[in-house]
Amino acid sequence: MTRTGEQYLESLRDGREVWLDGERVTDLGSHPAFRRSARSIASLYDLAETMPAELTAEVDGIEGPVSRAFLIPRSKEELKARGRAFRLLSRATFGYLGRSPDYMAAAVAGFATCPQVLRGEGFDGSANVLAHHRRMAEGDLYQAHTLVNPQVDRTRQPSQQEQDDLYLRVVAERDGGIVVRGAKMIGTAAAFGDEVLVGVTQLMPSEEADYAVSFSVPVSSPGVKFISRTSYEGRATSVFDYPLSSRFDENDSLVVYDDVFVPWERVFAYRDPVVCQRQFWSTPAFVGFVHHGATRLWTKLEFLTGVAILVARANNTHELPPVRMQIGRMMSWVATARALVLAMEDACEPVPGGDGAVMPNREIAHAQLAVGPELYPRAVAELKLLAGGGLIQLPSSYRDLLEPEVAALLGKYVRSPGHDSEQRIKLFKLAWDAVGSEFAGRHDQYERFYHGAPHTYLPAIVREGDPEGCADLARQCLDGYSLTEG
């Protein structure tokens, strides 16, 4: 069954170990560095209560409706329905929560689509991953994940690092499970989750088997520690001055696993580099990531374009031909992002070994990985150009508008046709938070790298696409004429 936002906020009071600014945070739901973002996540759970037909579905073997993201799509329409749910949830946060609860829920469904992939030579995690899918769906739980090793020395294998537990590895076996030690980086929104999944997406050599493990444990498990980056929400002076930073900072953490005990029933892959890699690439899990991310980027570009239109109108430049060109360019990028989402859904393909399940078209999904990181910085740049110096010359705080003497000066000098000082400042504060604040800088970097570096996803397009089809077309042209034709 789905849960309410209040139930989600209550779940944050479970003793999880989160560190920020040298202090341990005991309750994310009430701490000034996390509370508004936690409420934004809670509001997504409440949406399922108000829009059950769009955001929930019946899943075989599970009593009551669950989040649609946990559904294994078995038709094009079911896949599209999941995409529409992604779209509704992303619009609720204007595209700024990249790791909302539905993101990993779709991946968990992807694992459960092909449980046989988790059957290794020495360990069979297939039953565990099915039970995990059921548990997460029944409880409407928030699955966080950590996949990336720390940037210590990327030229060396895990076991060749200065210390053998810089990267997470298995250090012991016990009767009921295993003990792991090490760290994973960029745990985006991990501190807000119910459980955190550890996985490996790249194929490691067989001699690195100690590091080839996949599992999920509650975030409050003894030994799991979250070391938070700077909280942009915590630094936001008010919602008026930082409307995005203050409400949609999903945070990123270094997640340290300090001798964490993992019961066998929570292990999906064990000391098996091949199975660890196949968990993401031989199931619909990764392409599910892309489906969600592409839908959210579509929303985010739409939002930035909307802000650009409002800024142009506030500057009274909206009807100028050069400005119309800029707006048209941004709207073309929105249409491109939308087209990629709809195309990967419409050209969906059967999941190999998926018992009739379907997934987004892999070639188009991987093409989106190349297009998305290029579109987002360009949209940000266009908005900066349209806003000009108005982004720089803003009062320091909303309090200036509440002080009569200063407010009178702002009312005289900071305005435009049809926009008084409060309306204009409010709009340009929003634009600055989207393109110029520390929060905005993080999102620019995030959109460039959240699905991997270019050297990872660009070759994947060759693997998932049809390079020979392209080459054959070129050969047809070559074969159509000869040297004798002059």
Sign of the CA dihedral with 201 first, then 205, 206, and 210 last: negative
153 is in an annotated binding site: yes
197 is in an annotated binding site: no
Sign of the CA dihedral with 463 first, then 86, 7, and 186 last: positive
Listed residue (236, 241, 244, 245) closest to 398, CA to CA: 241
152 is in an annotated binding site: yes
Listed residue (461, 450, 467) closest to 294, CA to CA: 450
146 is in an annotated binding site: yes
* Close Cβ partners of 241 (under 8 Å, ≥ 6 residues apart): 397, 398, 429
Could you write out the DSSP letters of every residue in 442-471?
HHHHHHHHTT--HHHHHHHHHHHS-HHHHH
Cα angle, residue 454 at apex, residues 270 and 290 outer, rounded to 5°: 65
Show the tokens assigned to 105.
Answer: 């829920």
Distance between CA atoms of residues 223 and 307, nearest Å: 44
Sign of the CA dihedral with 187 first, then 191, 194, and 196 last: positive
266 is in an annotated binding site: no
Helical ranges in 51-113 per DSSP H: 52-55, 76-92, 101-113
151 is in an annotated binding site: yes
* Close Cβ partners of 468 (under 8 Å, ≥ 6 residues apart): none
Q: Contact 365/96 with Cβ under 8 angstroms?
A: no
295 is in an annotated binding site: no
Pairing of strands 195-198, 143-146: parallel
Q: Contact 86/292 with Cβ under 8 angstroms?
A: yes
Please state, as a whole number, how many other Cβ atoms lie within 10 Å of the Cβ of residue 282.
18
188 is in an annotated binding site: yes
Question: Strand runs (DSSP E) across 96-194, as ranges?
Answer: 143-146, 169-174, 177-184
Distance between CA atoms of residues 442 and 249, nearest Å: 10
> What residues form the annotated binding site for FAD?
145-147, 151-154, 188
> What residues form the annotated binding site?
145-147, 151-154, 188
